């Protein structure tokens, strides 16, 4: 299995810019196919304590899943920020993550890292690191 997530430089820059705009955890969806991010969709963080947690707006997620079922881009994962932390999954992320193979991009400042949720991951038992290929 290819453990590289590919994203354009412009999409990576948009994610970093979006997450740096707010002092709370910011989140959104990764849209594409297989290991290629073709688009992002910023979403509201609806968690009651957004300074330290995130929850993607369920309505936005359901809309994206409906578009995917109708032939639109697939939801291959999501991104979120750690505004006062590091660009790695936290223990809280591990508790919240489904072992579904989805990609997680985590941002802290200008650092962007990629992970894949699994049932027996190397990090917190839930995440495996993924190489991130940022193309021009």
How far apart are the C-alpha atoms of 59 and 61, rounded to whole Å? 5
Instruction: Report helix, strand or coil for 57.
Output: coil
pLDDT score, position 136:
80
Give the H or E element holding residue 131: strand 125-135
Strands 74-81 and 27-33: antiparallel
Asked whether the predicted pLDDT for residue 1 surpasses 60, the reply is no
Per-residue pLDDT band for 84 (boundaries 50, 70, 90) equals confident
Say which residue, 1 or 44, is predicted with more confidence: 44
Q: What pTM, to 2 d.p., does this model score?
A: 0.94
Residue 76 region, left (φ>0) first, then alpha (ψ -120 to 50), else beta?
Answer: alpha
Q: Any idea what the CATH number is for the domain that residue 115 is in?
A: 3.40.140.10
Which residues lie below 8 Å from residue 70, measured CB to CB, with a gap of 6+?
none
Per-residue pLDDT band for 2 (boundaries 50, 70, 90) equals low
Q: How many domains does the chain have?
A: 1
Asked whether the predicted pLDDT for residue 112 surpasses 90, the reply is yes
Domain hosting residue 99, numbered range = 4-135
Query: What is the length of the chain?
Result: 136
């Amino acid at each position: 299995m290819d453990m590289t997530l590919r994203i354009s430089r412009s999409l990576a820059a948009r994610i970093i810019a979006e997450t740096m705009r707010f002092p709370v955890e910011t989140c959104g969806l990764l849209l594409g196919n297989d290991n290629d991010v073709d688009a992002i969709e910023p979403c509201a963080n609806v968690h009651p304590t957004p300074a330290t947690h995130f929850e993607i707006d369920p309505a936005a997620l359901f809309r994206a899943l409906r578009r995917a079922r109708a032939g639109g881009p697939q939801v291959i994962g999501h991104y979120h920020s750690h505004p006062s932390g590091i660009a790695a999954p936290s223990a809280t992320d591990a508790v919240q993550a489904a072992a579904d193979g989805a990609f997680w991009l985590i941002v802290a400042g200008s650092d962007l890292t990629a992970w894949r949720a699994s049932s027996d991951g190397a990090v917190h038992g839930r995440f495996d690191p993924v190489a991130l290929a940022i193309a021009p």
